[in-house]
């Protein structure tokens, strides 16, 4: 079986966009949600991807067909719960929300069915990417803890892009690469200040809670990465955005795709950064060309973050483990602050 990624996306959404093209209005229907955008980019990078999701009611039927029309493989279960939907108006060139209907909670039986499908597909894949849901009522956070733990114990690499209770749960299960934004760590109270020292300290705490490696995006500022106890920043050419949304999801997709191909984490992060940067130059979320992304990857560098690694332990001394015995996040933050 070719290298593949399983994307766990419990409840994809139907997105309806109204646009103005000349004198005419156009209405576009797309499958949306984090997992769909990630899967779309992974496929663009030439890696087989299977999207494991639940589909129900009218919106579910439409979303499922739209996903299949894109050529994405689906590990699907049919449920009675409705998939979510939202409507955006972009006629004036900006995106404004008109209406949003959240997805409905999955029953206990449907949760078990979805878990089994995702576990089976995940064990067949080199990498499992765990995506969140638009509304946390759809699925209990503990499902993520169990799935991450079961997959890792049986040899599948786990990449997660989550926040809130889902992030806490997946850390308890364990994750090989955690992608998180600086807004999310601030909102969740995992970082106390929006500064380099504060964010570096938060990354080390995330590592100690269960993430072997951490990728922290910072909007228009260089992302930070924690790999083998070393914090570096991601440097890449500045580009004018057409639509800033989707950069983080494309970054996660690039990391997962490269790990599935057996590339090392440095190359995976650089490819993810290139995919994310190029995605903001486009209007379609999770879209891009593999050849362009590959060429752009050569211009992405991981550079040392001055002062961030003073006193850090050597690689393999406890990364991803609780209580690794290294310099505390607070001490590390002080070193960066005064460097």
Q: What is the pLDDT of residues 4-58, one digit of tens each?
A: 999 999 999 999 999 999 899 999 999 999 999 999 999 989 999 999 999 999 9
pLDDT confidence tier of residue 135, bands split at 50, 70 and 90: confident
The tokens of 108 are what? 């206990």
pLDDT at 311 over 70: no
Q: What local confidence, expressed as pLDDT, does residue 327 receive?
A: 40
Q: Return the residue matching tokens 């910072």.
A: 218
pLDDT at 59 over 70: yes
With left for phi above 0 and alpha for psi between -120 and 50, is residue 229 left, alpha or beta?
left
Name 49's bridge partners. 5
pLDDT at 244 over 70: no
pTM of the model: 0.84
pLDDT digits (tens, 9 = 90+) for 63-105: 999 999 999 999 999 999 999 999 999 998 888 999 999 999 9
Question: Quick count: other Cβ atoms within 10 Å of Cβ 70?
Answer: 15
Q: What local confidence, expressed as pLDDT, does residue 95 receive?
A: 84
Identify the structural domains of the chain with CATH numbers, from first to last. Answer: 4-173 (3.40.1190.20)
DSSP 8-state code for residue 156: -
pLDDT confidence tier of residue 256, bands split at 50, 70 and 90: very high
Inter-axis angle of helices 142-153 and 108-124, nearest 10: 30
Average pLDDT, the chain: 85
Choose the weakest-confidence range: 68-72, 227-231, 278-282, 316-320.
Answer: 316-320
- Percent of the chain's residues with pLDDT above 90: 67
CA 82 – CA 129 distance, rounded (Å): 23
CA 34 – CA 153 distance, rounded (Å): 25
Q: What local confidence, expressed as pLDDT, does residue 330 receive?
A: 45
pLDDT digits (tens, 9 = 90+) for 208-233: 999 999 999 987 788 899 999 899 99
CA 1 – CA 260 distance, rounded (Å): 12
Closest of 26, 30, 5 to residue 16, by C-alpha? 30
Alpha-helix residue ranges (DSSP H) falling in the chain:
34-44, 57-69, 108-124, 142-153, 164-173, 182-187, 196-209, 247-260, 265-279, 290-297, 329-337
pLDDT at 275 over 90: no
Choose the weakest-confidence range: 6-10, 122-126, 242-246.
Answer: 242-246
Q: Where are the beta strands (DSSP E) in 11-107?
A: 13-21, 24-32, 48-56, 73-79, 85-89, 96-101
């Amino acid at each position: 079986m070719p290298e593949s990624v399983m994307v766990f996306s419990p409840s994809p959404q139907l997105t309806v966009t109204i646009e103005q093209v000349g004198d005419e209005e156009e209405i576009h229907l797309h499958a949306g949600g984090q997992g769909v955008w990630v899967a779309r980019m992974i496929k663009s990078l030439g890696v087989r991807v299977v999207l494991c999701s639940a589909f129900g009611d009218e919106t579910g039927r439409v979303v499922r067909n739209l996903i299949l029309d894109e050529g994405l493989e689906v590990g699907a279960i049919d449920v009675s719960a409705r998939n979510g939907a939202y409507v955006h108006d972009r006629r004036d060139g900006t995106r404004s929300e008109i209406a949003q209907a959240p997805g409905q909670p999955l029953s206990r039986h449907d949760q078990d069915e979805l878990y089994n499908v995702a576990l089976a597909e995940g064990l067949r894949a080199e990498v499992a990417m765990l995506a969140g849901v638009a509304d946390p009522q759809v699925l209990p956070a503990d499902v993520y803890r169990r799935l991450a733990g079961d997959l890792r114990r049986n040899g599948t690499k786990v990449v997660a892009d989550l926040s809130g209770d889902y992030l806490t749960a997946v850390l308890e299960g364990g994750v090989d690469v955690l992608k998180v934004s600086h807004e999310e760590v601030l909102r969740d109270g995992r970082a106390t200040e929006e500064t380099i020292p504060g964010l570096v300290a938060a990354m080390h705490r995330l590592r100690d809670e269960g993430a072997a490696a951490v990728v922290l995006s910072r909007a228009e500022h260089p992302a930070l990465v924690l790999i083998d106890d070393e914090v570096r920043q991601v440097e890449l050419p500045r580009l004018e955005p057409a639509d800033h949304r989707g950069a983080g999801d494309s970054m996660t997709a690039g990391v997962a795709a490269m790990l599935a191909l057996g590339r090392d984490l440095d190359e995976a992060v650089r490819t993810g950064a290139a995919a994310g940067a190029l995605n903001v130059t486009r209007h379609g979320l999770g879209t891009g060309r593999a050849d362009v992304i590959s060429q752009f990857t050569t211009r992405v560098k991981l550079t040392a973050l001055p002062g961030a690694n003073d006193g850090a332990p050597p690689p393999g001394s406890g990364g991803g483990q609780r209580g690794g015995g290294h310099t505390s996040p607070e001490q590390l933050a002080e070193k960066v602050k005064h460097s």
